[in-house]
Structure 1
Amino acid sequence: MFLKRAIREALSVLEDSSCFRFIPRTNQRDFLFIDMQEGCFSFVGKVGGRQLLSLAAGCLHDYIIWHEVMHALGLEHEHQRPDRDKFIRIHWENVEPDKHLNFEKIPHADVDLYHTYDYHSLMHYDGTAFGKTDTDTGDPMTTMEPLRDGVELTDNFELTKFDVEKLQILSKCEKKSKFVN
């Protein structure tokens, strides 16, 4: 019951910020199938038919649900934009070897470049995401560093103005959102 309520509440925020509507499946050919598999993940954009979105037990936070659903709706990671090198530096040497794919640039055709780079987007990883463990401190190492002074890459727990604008572009509408930080 908690799982369904957490997902429903998170989806309602996305509905209130865009013109997307999430309804229980009846006989729709294309649908989002939310399951508790290992990890938090989703395909990016509509794949057709049954589309898996995984929310393991540790994924049941609003911001993680939003992140994965936003992938399903078509949004990519901000830090994978083709122009990201103007805004952040990737410390490849600190990234876990099997996680490099999470930092590869995505081609222009797959990414919306009509917005300012959003360091605080829900679609941007924090600065130590998938970092190797520092043997001296036991902490994850820095994997991304902002090139703008005064910016920190921390966990992002809220929709930003640009997140909402992108959702509105994808859902072809404009509406005021009370959920923007």
Structure 2
Amino acid sequence: MNLFILFLSVILLKESVSEEIVAHFPTRHGLRHRNREKRQVLLFPNKEQELFKWPNNTVHYYFDEYEFDMSVKEPVLLAMEMISNHTCIKFTTEPSDLVIKMISDDSKNYCYAAIGHQGRGDTTQVFSFNAACYSAGMAAHELIHSLGFIHAHQRSDRDQYLKFRKDLDSLDEEYRMQYDIYKDQEILVPYDYGSIMQYIDTADEYAPVHKNRFMRKAMGSLIIAYYDYLMINKYYECSCGENNGLKCLNDGYPNPANCSQCNCPLGFGGDDCSQRPEPGATLEAKEEWQNTTIALDAGYREEIAGKRSQFDYIYHYLWITAPANKTTEIRVNSFKEEKCSSNCQFGGVEIKTNPDPKLTSPRLCCDDTTTQRSLHTPTIVMAFNSEGLDEYTISYRYK
């Protein structure tokens, strides 16, 4: 069975807020307060609310040399690097009053993490990551839980975006609570089906509402979304200040990790988000169809048990330009059968057609040659791959 299909992250709430709150998911992949603010995070009553955040925006951790499988250390460190490179969050092994103890609990077929800073008398809190949770994306999902965030599909506005067919009342309490909508939330960012905190839909148990029905394969993403980083930055009040002087284009904003650069939506790069990321190409659409080919070779991780996908993706970007007020039409002509999955786990193509280019657009990885239409120029085509060689023929024109 595809490991990612089993991704279920469960929030386990104890009767007392002084006890640890744990989120876990079987191999991939409540609380009320009186404060006026509401967030996509779990908050504690009154003065305990601030304890939920990591002091000084710094997460202290260590890999337990006896309990952690060092062969899976790389994706955890990579996920930490991704988060710290886009936010003001720092991860450090320096001693502290509270630290995250990294273990690999192989007695369970899932990985798990405590939710938020558990600074209520304990000296350690748990983060379990084992070989079944093979990717940096999975590690990032749990690290974002550790920062204090719940799932996207537990937001108070989720019923505007998801239609549930799953009978939640029939589930055991432990599993039902991973879908519960908690009271007193503030919506910090728009709902993004491609959030790394959004569950995959593997059995048609919940699906995007009709107008967003093509977003199904974006759900359960292993790519940290633009709005995931922005959500962290807003909650932890990460900022470069009003007088930073850096002007970010294409909806970017100054990066709190490096205020001389911008955080950019996927598909934009350079210090000010004005450039196309590399590798890639810029193409000019015409009225007649043209073709281009993308070849993306991620290779494999060699292991005793056989070839495995890489811990993270490699990317290739196309910018397809068109005259103003024209519609760009794009289609992908072929896909590898073995890459077809519920969430494009191993690779695929995203064509940025969403009116908000900061949001995830539909992702394609199965036999879908439907023509995608965009009013953007340039229209961004993002190919991503984590194993083997992918080759795509892309057709494009404007109308």
Fold shared, TM-score > 0.5 on shorter chain: yes
Could you tell me the TM-score, scaled by structure 2's length?
A: 0.39
3-state secondary structure, aligned to 2:116: coil
Give the structure 2 partner of residue 170 of structure 1: 235
Superposed CA deviations along residues 126-149 of structure 1, whole A, max 9, x for unmatched, are 112xxxxxxxxxxxx222111133
Contact kept in structure 2, 1:31 and 1:51, CA below 8 Å: yes
Give the structure 2 partner of residue 35 of structure 1: 103
3-state secondary structure, aligned to 2:90: coil
The separation in 2 between residues aligned to 1:31 and 1:10, in whole angstroms, is 18
Percent same amino acid among aligned pairs? 21
Give the structure 2 partner of residue 5 of structure 1: 74
Query: Which letter maps to 2:222?
Result: F
3-state secondary structure, aligned to 1:152: helix
Contact kept in structure 2, 1:18 and 1:168, CA below 8 Å: yes
- CA distance 1:179–1:115, change in 2 (3 Å): closer
1:105 to 165, 181, 199: 181
Contact kept in structure 2, 1:7 and 1:60, CA below 8 Å: no
Superposed CA deviations along residues 94-147 of structure 1, whole A, max 9, x for unmatched, are 898232221111212xx441321111100000112xxxxxxxxxxxx2221111
* CA radius of gyration, larger in: 2
Higher relative contact order (CA 8 A, sep 6+): 1
1:156 to 221, 242, 250: 221
> Which is richer in strand?
2
> Which is richer in helix?
1
Structure 1, gaps ≥5 residues long: 129-140
3-state secondary structure, aligned to 1:103: coil
Query: Which letter maps to 2:236?
Result: S
How many residue pairs get matched? 166
How far has the Cα of 1:179 moved from its partner?
Answer: 8.4
Contact kept in structure 1, 2:111 and 2:130, CA below 8 Å: yes
Query: Which letter maps to 2:216?
Result: E
How far has the Cα of 1:3 moved from its partner?
Answer: 2.4
Structure 2, gaps ≥5 residues long: 1-69, 240-254, 256-261, 268-399
How far has the Cα of 1:172 moved from its partner?
Answer: 2.2
